[in-house]
Amino acid sequence: MRRVRYESTGGPLFLEETPVPEPGPGELLVRCEAVGVTLPVVRKVTEAAEPIALGGEIAGEVAAAGEGVTRFRPGDRVTGLCFGHGYADFALLHEAMASPIPDDATAVDAVALVRSGLVAYGALEAARPAPGEAVLVTAAASGVGHLAVQLARIRGAGRVVGAVSDPAKAEFVRTQGADDCIQYSDDSWGDPVDCILDAVGGDLLAPALAALAPHGRLVAYSSGGGTIQTYDLLVGAKSVIGFQMALIARGRPELYEQWRQELWRLFAEGALKPAVHAEFALADAAKAHEAIETRANLGKVVLRP
């Protein structure tokens, strides 16, 4: 089978031939039909001290099941988060991380909706916006961000604002349900908002906090780091809440499943519509990463083995 790999930090991605892996206890061997490309994986390629396995969201058909698997069998269509080599024709997926793909959805729908949608849904749950409150979403054109904009509108936000790096993304963000779209470099981010869902971090934390109304909440789910001054919280009684999807998946599996079912329900009803920026062949994985690195994507970037 083919697999994408690299040999040094920031090094070029390349295809290699490798044997099809055997599923171990509790594992599924999935014939990958779609693989979601995520910012954390792209960042690790350029920043991690040692090469990592290129994993992430995968979707496809179960080719074989390991010992102890009870929920799935060969022929089932599944999606889930792969922690090993996912940029491949076949990948191993632990049964606990797998969920079925509905009959009326494609593999691309699954990788565009489930993981990104869970992060967006969970971040909104952490912010707990009351009906009518204003919500601002950074990286609003990203795979997670555009779903967060839609979900904020579905949840009854009175005003939804998208924040982006490039004004060319503004129209796309508005088509997702945003009332307005601002740029990170703007001197003012407009009228204060009650909640901010931040996927960027770093130097953006200061203007984001400044954009919060008194008693506002900022939910940070970025891998970009950043520093916050306590005084900036005290003066407006503002809060910063950290959110990590992995903690929910491991510690609250029943809640994880509840959110996942809700996403599929909204999808089936046509209320939630994941957007796909582009689909790339495995051999073009470097181009897929470039779309993320340069912030060119409008929606999800997907590999198609």
In this predicted model, what pLDDT tens digit does every residue of 116-143 receive, in sequence order? 999 999 999 999 999 999 999 999 999 9
Share of the chain above pLDDT 90, in %: 88
Q: Mean pLDDT throughout 269-286?
A: 97
What average pLDDT does this structure show over 196-220?
A: 95
Mean pLDDT of 52-67: 96
Q: Is 91 left (phi over 0), alpha (psi -120 to 50) or beta?
A: beta
Tell me the average pLDDT across 73-79.
98
CB of 208 closer than 8 Å to CB of 227: no
Residue 65 contacts residue 227 (beta carbons within 8 Å): no
Q: Nearest 5°: phi and psi at 124?
A: -65, -40
Contact (CB, 8 A) for 198 and 219? yes
- CB burial of residue 102 (10 Å; 0-12, 13-18, 19+): middle
Q: At residue 232, does pLDDT exceed 90?
A: no
Check pLDDT > 90 for residue 153: yes
pLDDT of residue 229: 86
pLDDT at 131: 95
Q: What is the DSSP letter of 77?
A: E
Q: What is the chain's mean pLDDT, rounded?
A: 95
Asked if 241 contacts 221 with a C-beta cutoff of 8 angstroms, the reply is no
pLDDT bin (cut points 50, 70, 90) of residue 227 is confident
Domain boundaries, the chain: 2-101+275-303, 116-245
CB-based contact 153:177 (threshold 8 Å): yes
**CA dihedral for 230, 231, 232, 238, sign (positive or negative):** positive
- At 272 the pLDDT is 97
Phi, psi values for residue 198, rounded to 5°: -110, 120
Q: Answer whether residue 223 shows pLDDT above 80.
A: no
Mean pLDDT of 228-234: 88
Q: Give pairs for 215-220: CB < 8 Å, separation 24+.
A: 215/239, 216/192, 217/126, 217/127, 217/128, 217/241, 219/123, 219/124, 219/126, 219/127, 219/195, 219/243
Q: What is the pLDDT of residue 228?
A: 85
Higher pLDDT, 231 or 33: 33
Report the distance separating Cα 114 and Cα 34, nearest Å.
13
Q: How far apart are CA 3 and CA 59, in angstroms?
A: 16
- Domain formed by 116-245, architecture: 3-Layer(aba) Sandwich (3.40)
- Predicted pLDDT at 97: 87
pLDDT of residue 250: 81
CA distance 305 to 224: 29
What distance in Å separates the CA atoms of residue 285 and residue 303, rounded to the nearest whole number?
7
Phi first, then psi: what are they for 67, rounded to 5°?
Answer: -60, 135
Beta strands in 83-133 (DSSP E): 90-94, 98-100
Give, in order, the Cα–Cα distances in Å from 269 to each of 8, 70, 227, 297: 45, 30, 41, 26
User: Residue 50: what pLDDT?
Assistant: 92
- Residue 204: predicted pLDDT: 92
Q: Compute the distance between CA of residue 88 and CA of residue 151 in angstroms, rounded to an integer.
A: 31
The CA angle 172-178-181, to the nearest 5 degrees, is 70
Distances (CA, A) of 301 to 4, 66, 297, 304: 16, 30, 7, 10
CATH of 2-101+275-303, one of 3.40.50.2300, 3.40.50.10860, 3.90.180.10, 3.40.50.2000: 3.90.180.10
Residues in contact with 15: Cβ distance below 8 Å, sequence separation at least 6, in sequence order: 2, 3, 4, 282, 283
Residue 101 has what DSSP assignment? P
Q: How is residue 88 annotated by DSSP? A: B
Instruction: Please say if the pLDDT value at position 224 is more than 80.
Output: no
**How does pLDDT run across 77-107, given as a tens digit for each residue?**
999 999 999 999 999 999 988 999 999 999 9
**Which pLDDT belongs to residue 245?**
86
Classified as helix, coil or strand, 36 is: strand
> Where does the pLDDT of residue 12 fall: very low under 50, low under 70, confident under 90, or very high at 90 and above?
very high
